[in-house]
A and B are shown apart, each in its own frame.
Chain A
Amino acid sequence: MALPDPSRLEPSTARQSSNPIPRAIATIAVAILTSLFLLFILAPVVGLVSAGGAHGLSSLASDAELRASLLLTVGTATMATFLGVLGATPLAYLLARRAFRGRAIVSALLDLPLVIPHPVAGIALLLVLGRNTPLGVALLAVGLRVANSPTGIVCAMLFVSAPLYVSAAREAFARVDPRYETVARTLGDDAWRAFRRVTLPLSARGLTAAAVVMWARSVSEFGAIVILTYNPKVASVLAYDRFTSYGLSETLPVAAVLVLLALIPLAALRALRGGEPLPR
């Protein structure tokens, strides 16, 4: 085999190692910009936790309202996530697997709650589920009050967070080669059994991560909830209420505890995703 003429390599080799000064400047610029960006993200969070974290954790014992608010937040977020997983998983599967008429419209509709301002989402929900609306009246007749109740909080969380779950769950299903199902079907499984025995286990990590994202988004929701249900107060509404009523110092413990609460899904996501491969 003929070796390449070394003289032909020289120009490109020279190009690669030429102009070291601009390359160094570019590297320094990227490092500075990255550091500034990370500082911008980290500084408020670290500042908040360091200023109110310890107080927040200690006030969990003494502040009954904060405790109740956190329990309400976690409970409603869990319920919203449960309902989202239950109701949206089949839709995510359909979007991943089936080509059907109107698929693009359904996808666009699902993105809508993500792009409209969340207080507007709350107003929209109020127009449908408020106590003076036909649906609100009907629900009230069966003993289900939406506005100013935990049900309203769950509705608001579900509305703004479920699209995130659908999107992530659809990706999780799409990552499972449909031929696994084909093989399972030819091995005797009906469609449901093949889904349960093959597709679900193979997409479980992705689905769990999707649910965690939905739960985290539900916990952090404020805009839609504050319109639909000011009372009882979830943690985000409590923080806002204390800020407007008592000022920054009274708000810090609540806000810091909320940040610490957010670390739980963050850790869960890291664990679920495992060692993410480095980009090549």
Chain B
Amino acid sequence: MIALERVNARAGGFRLTDVTFAVPQGGYGVVIGPAGSGKTTLLETIAGTIRATSGRVMLGGDDLTHAPPERRRLGIVYQHAYLFPHLDVRKNIEYGAVSTAAAAEVAERFGVHVLGDRRVESLSGGERQLVAIARTLARQPEVLLLDEPFSALDPRTRNTARRLLRTIYFERRFTVLQVTHDFSEAGLLGDIAIMLDRGRVVQQGDPEQVFRKPASPYIADFLGAENVFAGVAQPIRAEAPDWIDAAESEFTQNAVAFTTGALTFYALGDVVPGPTHAVIRAEEISLSAEPAMSSVQNQFRGTIVEIVPGGALTRVTVDAGGTPIVAAVTSRSMRELGLSVGVSVVAGFKATAVHLC
């Protein structure tokens, strides 16, 4: 568990002010905020390398506000790997490992065991980051702090790193706090999302609620996503419907059935089975009076419950079996379809429009 109670801290001219939140034991928290909002300062305050001037930092139920970093049973992975350049890959991974066997095991899991004797300067960015994660996990921390660890990676390596980390997370169930400045890079959304701005927590809570009901226009603008669904993903490659091969043959990812509430829709993604989130931008959702005969496979009938005009696009909320789906519709479509509150419509979107994270 990570719990901060009215924590204040100072790093140079920057201040964290009255930061309070809790990530449950084995939970996954995401700190979101723009560059300069204090995300790294927050992580380093939890890590103990920046001293909290007041408040309490609780880790695993213990008050470790004044404990040195080495006693906090946590690990930190930065955006830049910070591999020790004077040590080879193996020695980096073994640096703080609970045992040589643990280091070897995690190195193999992340596929970096083959890099054993290589100097870190010779590694690619992706390899460095995988080694950095392996080095941290070899210590078997109870709390893992991730400071935008995937943001500098290419998409393929990013997906690999996320999947590997997520697999180990589900196995070991350590507590994670990941920071990001970009929702699309959040990667793994979890039990709590914390919005940070200028050193203060401006909103926190269930990620779905934070994304769906931003507390301020600033947060809404920053997040830029209206449809965020918590649910369960299940890869269905072996039983993939025909359309996966026919229409989406260019994709090498797995077909995934994602269930949220009463809805199950198809997506594409390289995910571990289990709880996850799906995000669909409102612009990707089309509305029609009847189901469309097209490649759009995710179609759900529902009733319009809210219409919010906003410039060129109007936000239309459709209640589909208890799940609200927000579509961005042009004023021409509004007129042609005769959309108004209470009208029955079909909301449709492609599998490729679904972002699993």
The docked-state distance in angstroms from the alpha carbon of A190 to that of B72 is 12
Closest partner residue, chain A, to B141 (CB atom): A186
A189-B82 contact, Cβ under 8 Å, with A182-B47, A182-B76? no
Q: Is B295 positioned at the interface, with any CB of A under 8 Å from its CB?
A: no
In Å, the complex CA distance between A10 and B260 comes to 64
Quick one: which of A184-198 are within 8 Å of B by CB? 184-191, 197-198
A198-B84 contact, Cβ under 8 Å, with A187-B95, A187-B96, A187-B136 = yes
A186 near B86 (CB under 8 angstroms)?
no
Closest 9 pairs (CB-CB, A-B): A187-B96, A185-B69, A188-B96, A201-B86, A182-B49, A183-B82, A186-B76, A188-B70, A186-B69
Q: Does chain B have a CB within 8 A of A180?
A: yes
Of A182, A191, A198, A202, most B-chain CB atoms within 10 Å: A182
Q: How far does the Cβ of A25 sit from chain B's closest Cβ, in whole Å? A: 46
A63 contacts B by Cβ under 8 Å: no
The 8 Å CB contact of A189, one of B70, B74, B86, B145, is: B70
Closest residue of B by beta carbon distance from A182? B49
Report the tally of A-B residue pairs with Cβ distances under 8 A: 57
Is the interface on chain B under 10, 10 to 19, 20 to 34, or 35 or more residues? 20 to 34
Q: Check B69–A180 contact: CB distance below 8 A.
A: no
- Are the CB atoms of B78 and A179 closer together than 8 Å? yes
> Please, which residues of chain B bring their CB within 8 A of the CB of A198?
84
Q: In the complex, A177 Cα to B78 Cα: how many Å?
A: 13
| Residues on A with beta carbons closer than 8 Å to the beta carbon of B80 | 179
CA distance A188 to B97 in the complex (A): 9
Closest chain A CB from B157 CB (angstroms) = 21
Distance of A181 Cα from B68 Cα, bound (Å): 13
Whether B200 sits at the interface, judged by CB under 8 Å, is no
16 A-B pairs besides A182-B44, A186-B96, A202-B84 with CB distance below 8 A are A179-B78, A180-B82, A182-B76, A183-B84, A185-B49, A186-B76, A186-B141, A186-B145, A187-B75, A187-B135, A187-B139, A188-B70, A189-B96, A190-B68, A197-B95, A202-B86
Complex contact A186–B47 (CB within 8 A): yes
Q: Complex Cα distance A252/B33, Å?
A: 71
- A191 to B44, alpha carbons, bound, how many Å? 15
Q: How far is the CA of A261 from the CA of B74 in the complex (A)?
A: 52
B-side interface mostly: loop
Asked if A188 meets B76 with Cβ closer than 8 Å, knowing A179-B82, A202-B85, A202-B86, the reply is no
B48 on the A face (CB < 8 A): yes
User: CB-nearest residue of chain B relative to A200?
Assistant: B86
Distance between Cα atoms of A233 and B235 in the complex (Å):
85
Q: List 9 A-B contacts (CB under 8 A).
A: A179-B78, A182-B69, A183-B84, A184-B84, A184-B96, A186-B69, A187-B135, A188-B70, A197-B95
Contact flags (1/0) for A194-235 with B, using CB distance below 8 Å? 000110011000000000000000000000000000000000
A residues adjacent to B (C-beta < 8 A): 177, 179-191, 197-198, 201-202
Whether B68 contacts A185 by the Cβ 8 Å rule is: yes
**Minimum CB distance partner of B78 in chain A:** A179
Are A186 and B74 in contact, CB atoms less than 8 angstroms apart? Answer: yes
The complex places the Cα of A180 from the Cα of B49 at a distance, in Å, of 11
Closest B residue to A198 using CB positions:
B84
- How far is B138's CA from A271's CA once the two chains are assembled, in angstroms? 38
Nearest residue, chain B, Cβ from A201:
B86
Closest to A183 in B: B82
Bound state CA distance, A179 and B40, in angstroms?
11
> Hey, which chain B residues are within 8 Å of A187, CB to CB?
75, 95-96, 135-136, 139
Could you tell me the distance between the alpha carbons of A190 and B136 in the complex, rounded to whole angstroms? 16
CB distance from A182 to the nearest CB of B (A): 5
Q: Is B76 in contact with A183, judged by CB distance below 8 angstroms?
A: yes
A180-B82, A190-B68 known; A185 vs B95 contact (CB < 8 Å): no
The chain A residue with its CB closest to the CB of B44 is A182
Q: How far is the CA of A120 from the CA of B216 in the complex (A)?
A: 67
Encode B187-201 as 1/0 by CB contact (under 8 A) with A: 000000000000000
Quick one: closest A residue to B97, CB to CB? A187
Residue in A closest to B85 when the chains form the complex, CB atoms: A202
Report chain B residues within 8 Å CB of A181: 49
How many Å from the CB of A27 to the closest CB on chain B? Answer: 39
**Chain A positions within 8 Å of B68 at CB level:** 185, 190-191
Contacts of A189 in B (CB 8 A): 70, 96
Contact B95 A184, beta carbon cutoff 8 Å: yes
- Taking CB as reference atom, which chain A residue is nearest B76? A186
B300 vs chain A, min Cβ distance (A): 43
Give the residues in chain B near A177, CB-CB below 8 Å. Answer: 82
